[in-house]
Amino acid sequence: MFGTIRKHQTWLWAVIITVIIISFVIFFSPYSKMNDNRQVAANWGSINGEKVTQEEYVKAYKEICLRAFFMTGNWPDDEARKQGGDVERESFQWLLLKQKQKELGIHISTDAVAQGARAMISQFQRSGITSPEMFINLVLKPRGYEVEDLERFVRHYMGLEELIATVGLGGKLVTPQEIRDLYKRENEQLETAAVFFSASNYLASVSVAPDAVMQFYTNRQAGYRIPDRVQVSYVRFDLTNFLAEATQDLAKMTNLDLQIDEMYKQGGTNFLREWKAQTPEEARRNIRVDTLRKLQMQGARKKALEFATPLFDMDPVRTDNLDKLAKEKGLTVQITEPFDQRDGPSELAVGQDFAAKAFARTPVEPFAGPIVGMDGVYVIAFNKKIPSEIPALDKIRARVEKDYQLGQAQDLARKAGLVFYPTLTNGLAQGKTVAALCADAKLQLVDLPPISISTRELEQVSEHLPLNQFKQLAFGTTVGKVSPFQMTTAGGVIVYVKSKLPLDEAKMITALPTFANAVRQNRQNEAFNSWFRKEAEKGLRDTPLARQEASPAMKAAPKAKK
């Protein structure tokens, strides 16, 4: 496979970066102590009567991880891998898909696999990947993957595309008239206006009585519960500490500007758009800033790993090992403020990965890292867990009073809307106009831009209610009429449909080919998904996950909320 890629390579990118600046490389093996990879089970069950071996499962698992990496640029979260879940489930689904490809005689040629691999790898050119060798050695091998894993994944991924095309073929059979009707339905525009009854307009009318606030708090105590929180100790390897070294490395890239210019010649406006630039000079600046940051991140990761490796090896495992080792290395240990898993630590520039790993820490497994943040790389240790609690009213009185006032204002807004609606319909029946009736009631009638079912944004609406909710009202109302009063989170709304605009036939003729392709693709995917659901229900019933979900304990367990 590797030789085939070299044979057929026609690499399109021009920026050749001579040092490692790959932002997504993980600097330790998936089998290392820090990665907490789950141990494989002994019994892998069967799919459609064919036994699943450990080797087959491990290969499928790797392919699912590769798919996640190519789709997102990130490997599946290490804690998610430790706990199983979607990655494990998708591995069995992948095995079923591979089985179906074999049954239908789908085979992807070596040349096609090589071309597919080139296309997949090329998306990482901005991160400095300049050859297949670099991708294999710097991205795959540190995670325990080989060339054969990449070839197998690409072959089955392309085979899946063939499978979708084969199984979903019936879904693509859409007549030209049906496509025209669908286009008209999605693109015909309505001229509308609306009366918004917003709670903010009624806040001044609400008095905040202490007894009422107390009753409000008592009835809604559960809504003020503070979730479980944690605190972690951490050592941060700040990016600013690696600026000097990164600047020196950047200066060594003497031909970088020439290579950027060559990339601009090949990419043109697409290149500028990719780098959010108006001119080549601005793009060059953006690329150099991005490269400098990646070099800083590389240095921070390297130092964080040098610190984390002996930390994870210390015996016995104790949470204060972080403080002990940091003191030896002359590093500062800090402690976060308490934070929940949804929001994470407010004082740190980190992502959801930080919070997930922090909540997985225990006195038995206290350490995690390196964890990449916006301003540096972190190594963390368990500090304490704080159980959920409901704070007393005096501690959150200002918040409760604000919630009470808003709730009362919403009620006033909705009452005003309910009162105005019959006045509006009666007035229309008497021949009065919507504008006049709104003026008499001292309400503002807001004229809105034309809207169609395919409209994705309408700022004047979105600040009051979800756009889809508004579209349901508008397209469910007869032209020349008003909708019933609809309650919203902000209060409520009445929609007036003034007219239906004629469809632009010339625009439709131009857009129909692209629209038809999208319709057929969607229908194909829907047909495939329907087929696969049935196949999975039948073929995966004898896998470990299916048996686990069918157990009495799992049936009795409460379902997780989405």
459-479: pLDDT as tens digits: 999 989 999 999 999 999 999
Q: Quote helix, strand, coil % in the chain, to nearest 5.
A: 60, 10, 30
Question: pLDDT band at 24, cuts 50/70/90?
Answer: very low
Q: Give the pLDDT score at 130.
A: 66
In this prediction, residues 356-368 reach a mean pLDDT of 92
Residues 6+ apart with CB under 8 A from 295: 19, 21, 242, 245, 246, 249, 250
In this prediction, residues 477-493 reach a mean pLDDT of 94
Residues 291, 297, 302, 308: what is their CA dihedral angle, to the nearest 10 degrees? -170
Q: Is the pLDDT of residue 385 over 80?
A: yes
Q: 144 in the Ramachandran plot: left (φ > 0), alpha (ψ -120 to 50) or beta? A: left
Q: Give the pLDDT score at 291.
A: 83
DSSP structural state of residue 174: -
Q: Is the pLDDT of residue 412 over 70?
A: yes
- In a 3-state reduction of DSSP, which class is residue 420? helix
Question: pLDDT band at 170, cuts 50/70/90?
Answer: confident
In this prediction, residues 98-116 reach a mean pLDDT of 90
Q: Is the pLDDT of residue 133 over 90?
A: no
Question: pLDDT band at 401, cuts 50/70/90?
Answer: very high
298-357: pLDDT as tens digits: 899 999 999 999 999 998 999 999 999 999 999 999 999 999 988 889 899 888 889 999
First-to-last C-alpha distance (Å) of the chain: 42
What is the residue-wise DSSP string for 369-407?
EEEE-SSEEEEEEEEEEE--B---GGGSHHHHHHHHHHH
Helices first, then strands: H and E counts in the chain: 22, 10
In this prediction, residues 97-108 reach a mean pLDDT of 91
What is the residue-wise DSSP string for 452-483?
-TT----HHHHTTS-HHHHHHHHHTS-TT-BP
Q: Give the pLDDT score at 548.
A: 58
Most confident by average pLDDT, 72-86, 105-119, 544-558: 105-119
Tell me yes or no: is domain 189-223+403-500 CATH 3.10.50: yes
206-246: pLDDT as tens digits: 999 999 999 999 999 999 999 999 999 999 999 999 999 88
In this prediction, residues 264-276 reach a mean pLDDT of 69
What does the angle CA 110 – CA 116 – CA 120 come to, to the nearest 5 degrees?
145
25-81: pLDDT as tens digits: 322 233 333 444 334 445 788 888 889 899 999 999 999 999 988 887 777 754 444
Q: Is the pLDDT of residue 421 over 80?
A: yes
138-164: pLDDT as tens digits: 788 877 888 899 999 999 999 999 988
In this prediction, residues 507-536 reach a mean pLDDT of 89
Question: pLDDT band at 83, cuts 50/70/90?
Answer: very low
Q: Give the residue ranges of DSSP H helices in 171-320.
A: 176-187, 210-219, 243-251, 256-267, 269-274, 280-313
What percent of the chain has a predicted confidence (pLDDT) above 90? 48
Residue 446's DSSP bridge partners are 194
- The domain segmentation of the chain, as residue ranges, is 2-167, 189-223+403-500, 229-386
Torsion 270-273-279-280 (CA) sign: negative
- In a 3-state reduction of DSSP, which class is residue 66? helix
What percent of the chain has a predicted confidence (pLDDT) above 70? 85
- CA nearest neighbour of 92 among 549, 550, 534, 536: 536
Q: Minimum mean pLDDT among 3-17, 67-81, 108-122, 384-398: which range? A: 3-17
* 46 against 278, higher pLDDT: 46
- CA nearest neighbour of 1 among 118, 102, 98, 101: 118
* 398 against 285, higher pLDDT: 398
**How confident is the prediction for the chain on average, in pLDDT?**
83
In this prediction, residues 450-454 reach a mean pLDDT of 92
178-206: pLDDT as tens digits: 988 898 998 999 999 999 999 999 999 99
